[in-house]
Chains A and B, each alone.
Chain A
Amino acid sequence: MKLKDFPEEELFLQGSAACQGCPGSAAIRVAFKALGRNTVLSVIASCTSVFQSPFPVSALELPTLNMAFATGGATASGLSAAADRLVARGVLEEKPTILVWAGDGGTYDIGIQALSGAAERNADFIYVCYNNEAYSNTGTQRSGATPYAAWTTNTTKGKEEWRKDVAQIMVAHGIPYVATASLAYPTDMFRKFARAKEIKGTRYIEIQAPCPPGWKFPSSHTIKVARLAVQSGMWMLYEHEDGKTTYTAGTQRIIQGQSKLVPVEEYLRAQGRFGHLFSPERDEKRIGEIQRRIDHVFETLQFTHKMKEHIMDIEMAPPR
């Protein structure tokens, strides 16, 4: 799907209360374009609540429930069951897509229990986590998604632990569809949402959302930082379906050797939250540690890709 084929209809209304250069509203626009008008939304407490609920107005054109942190999976299961009944009674012609829109706090830390339960029941909804790697709404506190060495208000010298990977936890649940997306690749994100819409069952999509005030970079660099994250390997784009993981867009190009991995230093330097790694003096140890982890992951993936191609060559060769 090309950009010019995207629907023109805006279900996100301009003049919202979001910050300048907000990744949350940029992501929600693409998601709404892919899912269309027949969608019911459950917004979990996050930055989206800010522009969704300045009573008596809202910036979202779709029917929306404004919910508490821990309720993502539970409300969606309920909405889905109710929609099923309405379809069975003939009140609704077509079942609406149930969409949960949560931040990383509501997914990684507080909401994971409800999400895990709903995923195990394989309730029929799409769960979206837009991951800005901290509790940005309340002023950038550390969350389970904050990466190693990043500054937050309660990890002032850099976080000491590595972040957990909820997308992989969802893969382990064995749900029908798991995908990760990036703001810098809107066609890839649109395709993943359109694919998720076709499938029945629990679907999980995670979008990396670089937050200008939280990550300390100018508001114009939101997309640039998102792109650097993919190019440097700090964020991987893939989709997981039928027990098979396919890497897409920028990540696929790196694995297939069409483009090179950008040094992670470029990504770290673009943000003020990693500033303590470079001044007053360069912290070789921590930068090296991050780079080593990325290199290890990509070396393995590139090796597997080469092996697969090699095996394909053998299979395709004519028998002697």
Chain B
Amino acid sequence: MPKRKKKEAEEIGFVTTLSVPSEGSAGLTGSWRVFIPVLDGERCNKCLLCWIYCPEACINKDIRINYDYCKGCGICAEECPRGAISMVKEEKKQ
């Protein structure tokens, strides 16, 4: 249960049927990933195409990828005009 919902339950004594906006509403979606996007900072010219095309809002305006939530769809690597992002097979976490 998200923090805001817990607070609501404590304050008014019951949980309403309203959903609260929260990051990671489907959990840590990074675990869905098979291929992981890796950015080559030298090739990147900050055209921001990956930022606007990312369906998950996982790339911020400074071109930092949030690997907690990145689902590894590969749109950023496909659309990068300079080939600065490559998809690498993810290694299993121990």
Contact = CB atoms under 8 A, between A and B. Distances in A.
A6 B52 contact: yes
Contacts, number: 124
Interface residues of A, number: 42
A17 B19 CA distance: 14
Contacts of A21: 55, 71, 73-75
Contacts of A12: 57
A42 to B, nearest CB: 15
Interface in B42-92: 47-49, 51-58, 60-61, 66, 68-69, 71-75, 77-79, 87
A60 B18 CA distance: 13
B55 A54 contact: no
A57 B73 contact: no
B53 A26 contact: yes
Contact of B74 (A25, A26, A60, A218): A218
Interface of A: 3-4, 6, 8, 10, 12-18, 20-26, 29-30, 51-61, 183, 186, 212, 218-224
Interface of B: 1-2, 5, 15, 17, 19-29, 32, 47-49, 51-58, 60-61, 66, 68-69, 71-75, 77-79, 87
Given A212-B73, A220-B77, A223-B53, 11 more contacts: A14-B23, A14-B29, A14-B66, A14-B69, A15-B24, A15-B27, A21-B71, A30-B52, A54-B26, A218-B74, A220-B73
